[in-house]
Amino acid sequence: MRVLVVHNWYRSAQPSGENVVVSQHVDVLRAGGHDVELYSRSSDDIAELPVLGRALVPVRSLWSRLDERSLASEITVRRPDIIHVHNTFPLISPSVLKAAAAADVPVVATLHNFRLMCANGLLQRDGAPCEDCVGTSPWAGVRHGCYRDSRIASVPLAAGIQLHRGLKTWHKYVTRFVAPSAFVRETFIKDGYDPARITVKPHSVPHPAGVRSGSGEHVLFVGRLAPEKGLLDLLEAWDPALGKLVIAGDGPLRDDVLRAEAASSGSISYVGAVPWQECMDLMARATLLVVPARWYETFGMVIVEAFAHGVPVVAAQIGALAELVEDGRNGAAFTPGDIPALRTALAKVSANTDALGANARASYLSRFTPEADLAATEALYTSLLHQ
């Protein structure tokens, strides 16, 4: 098949799981023998725009006639069978959906986040889940300054949501939506999307270079050092009797982590933001991975990476995480913010890491390999071509 993938790359200075997923999506399709072209913009380019161009980015995010025309031209040249849209914010805009529909090419859109209903795309406010704008007006996001903690910056985001709701842009021009989890699917259904047009297809991760040998050396946390990630809960719940806790990442709670490390008598080790391969090396030597999130994760790539390495996971039962971690099978689950329950879950998995790790590896092999991803994607595309 000829596939045209559309994506606005997030800034390179800000690590993005979406960018990783898109790169892997392209790699999986090409490895499967498909002809894949990429229509993309990069948010890094905003800094290179002239002053007027930078000032007009909020308007461009609503509807870019430039990209509508550019994609129409690309379709004429490439003649794709399928157009797969990942992210259109802020430079590409939903205008490209109209161009694709005008060419009578099926459009698939992956729902990586909640930007079609929420100004910050996370359904999060003040460090906690928030659904104030689901199925209703998005203007609460302006009142609370949900995008970059700024009411002014939130205006174009809310305006875009309202505009495209009114125009029914996504409803009219997207043939099929892909949700990485049932949680994401149900949330979009609550916002008024047609259940019949949302397919659940989890992301995949590449086969790791090696699988964990033995019971591991440390408990591992990987992610942004922020309150919504539940890091403060983990620091409070940590028991040195569990061995060593390794924390990888960076963010606003960095000083809290450094203080905890200094007071831990060697049971907490902060390694900072490490390169991906180094992170995977830490993963392959982990007794368990802990994901104590307090917000709605749409998937949980780091959990699947742990499964791929044969490492069990302790995770909060929130959002999509509840679909990945099966308590007592490939890890342990606990209620977000429940410190005693988190401490108990860590001890339970540490004591049975070998059996749970084998089950975690089985979870990866059954659902999250590139081969499984390719088969599901091909089945989806083929179904659309034969409608």
pLDDT in single tens digits along all 387 residues of the chain: 999 999 999 998 776 889 999 999 999 999 999 999 999 999 999 999 999 889 889 999 999 999 999 999 999 999 999 999 999 999 999 999 999 999 999 999 999 999 999 999 999 998 889 999 999 999 999 999 999 899 999 999 999 999 999 999 999 999 999 999 999 999 999 999 999 999 999 999 999 998 999 999 999 999 999 999 999 999 999 999 999 999 999 999 999 999 999 999 999 999 999 999 999 999 999 999 999 999 999 999 999 999 999 999 999 999 999 999 999 999 999 999 999 999 999 999 999 999 999 999 999 999 999 999 999 999 999 999 977
Give 327's DSSP letter.
Answer: B
Burial (Cβ within 10 Å: 0-12, 13-18, ≥19) of residue 61:
buried
pLDDT at 13: 75
The topology under which CATH files domain 218-367 is: Rossmann fold (3.40.50)
Q: Which tokens hold the place of 102?
A: 């005008």
pLDDT at 16: 80
Q: Which tokens hold the place of 68?
A: 């509508």
Q: pTM here?
A: 0.95
Rg from Cα positions in the chain: 21
pLDDT at 386: 79
Q: Which residues, in sequence order, are CB contacts of 272 under 8 Å at separation 6+?
A: 248, 249, 250
Collapsing DSSP to helix, strand or coil, 105 comes out as coil
User: What pLDDT digit, counting tens, does each position of 158-171 carry?
Assistant: 999 999 999 999 99
Q: Which residues pair with 291 in a beta bridge?
A: 315
DSSP H or E segment with residue 306: helix 301-308
User: What pLDDT digit, counting tens, does each position of 304-331 carry?
Assistant: 999 999 999 999 999 999 999 999 999 9
Q: Which tokens hold the place of 159?
A: 């305006």
Q: Which CATH superfamily is domain 2-204+370-385 in?
A: Glycogen Phosphorylase B; (3.40.50.2000)
Map out the domains of the chain as residue ranges: 2-204+370-385, 218-367
User: What separation in angstroms does the CA of 117 have from each of 40, 48, 110, 146?
Assistant: 23, 30, 15, 12
Identify each DSSP E strand in 113-189 by its residue range.
124-125, 128-129, 176-179
What's the CA gap between 229 and 345, in Å, rounded?
17
